[in-house]
Amino acid sequence: MRILKACLFDLDGVLVDTAGYHFKAWRRLAQTLGIDFTEHDNERLKGVSRMRSLEIILEIGERTLPPEQMLALCEQKNTEYLLDVAQMTPAEILPGVVEFLKALKAEGFKIALGSASKNAQLILERTALLPFFDAIIDGRHVTNGKPDPEVFLKGAEALGVLPEECVVFEDAVAGVEAAKNGNMRCVGVGQPEVLTLADIVVQDLTEMSVARLRELEQM
């Protein structure tokens, strides 16, 4: 049995709901390029970097652009996204998050964020979640995006725990794969038929408790 000591959380779709903000910003950008970008297409952008997201949109539109223009477009998207993020409040926190984080703290678990977002700290500040976190590893700290496990391995290192002592909470297929590639257990947040590699899947964190977390030690 492996004793669990730490929890690593993805941000978007697990702790807060910023997916709508991302979608609106990407759709506006796609429209300027004459590309029809739908909510179904947006599912492909979950858990991947900003540049890879733009690459996917260009693939959908069967377009290619020079690297310097792609960089400029990524910055344009982020600027528009940040205008929305600046208006965020704790109302954007997803159900069960605060209660579960409080329970983890009370039981002595270490907590880290592992997100591709380069705006993670700002979002945590705006939603008043920042005090719960012992470490923040985001897109500014890693070279490789998920499903590479780098973001979670760095999170474990920052917390001073072994990968096998960690549980990752993820809503994206690439994120679940990253957790498993890093030899960590994983709680999927979403649909079981999508997050098939997760050890367990919950609809949201209202379904999680420390007792249920401890059950993962037997897996």
Domain edges within the chain: 6-17+90-218, 19-85
**Residue in 12, 41, 171, 199 annotated catalytic:** 12
- Whether the bond between 147 and the residue before it is cis, its omega within 30 degrees of 0, is yes
Residue found under tokens 């590699």: 197
Hey, do 6-17+90-218 and 19-85 end up sharing a CATH topology, with the first three levels equal? no
Q: Which residue has the tokens 């976190």?
A: 133
Between the CA of residue 94 and those of 101, 164, 166, 192, what are the distances in Å? 12, 27, 22, 19
What number of other Cβ atoms are within 10 A of residue 191's Cβ?
11
Are the C-beta atoms of residues 171 and 14 closer than 8 Å to each other?
A: yes
**By the 8 A CB rule, do 89 and 111 touch?**
no
Question: Of all helices (H) and strands (E), which one includes residue 13?
Answer: none
Torsion over CA: 10, 100, 18, 62 (sign): positive
Of 119 and 210, the structure prediction assigns the larger pLDDT to 210
Check if 10 is active-site: yes
Quick one: tokens of 110? 């270490």
What's the pLDDT at 171? 93
| Residue 12 bears catalytic tag | yes
Regarding the domain delimited by 19-85, which CATH topology (the fold level of the hierarchy) does it fall under? DNA polymerase; domain 1 (1.10.150)
Q: Please provide the average confidence, as pLDDT, over all residues in the chain.
A: 94
Q: What is the pLDDT of residues 27-67, one digit of tens each?
A: 999 999 999 999 999 988 877 789 999 999 999 999 999 99
The answer to whether 139 and 123 have CB atoms below 8 angstroms apart is: no
pTM: 0.84
* pLDDT at residue 187 tops 80: yes
Q: How confident is the model at residue 11 (pLDDT cuts 50, 70, 90)?
A: very high
Q: Considering 10, 41, 138, 171, which one is annotated as catalytic?
A: 10
The phi and psi torsions of 43 (rounded to 5 degrees) equal -60, -30
Residue 80's φ and ψ, nearest 5 degrees, are -65, -40
The pLDDT of residue 126 is above 80: yes
Radius of gyration of the chain (CA): 17
CATH number of 6-17+90-218: 3.40.50.1000
| DSSP letter string, 135-180 | EEE-TTT-SS-TTSTHHHHHHHHHHT--GGGEEEEESSHHHHHHHH
Which pair of tokens denotes residue 183? 């030899």
Tokens of 155: 């999170």
d(CA 75, CA 72): 5
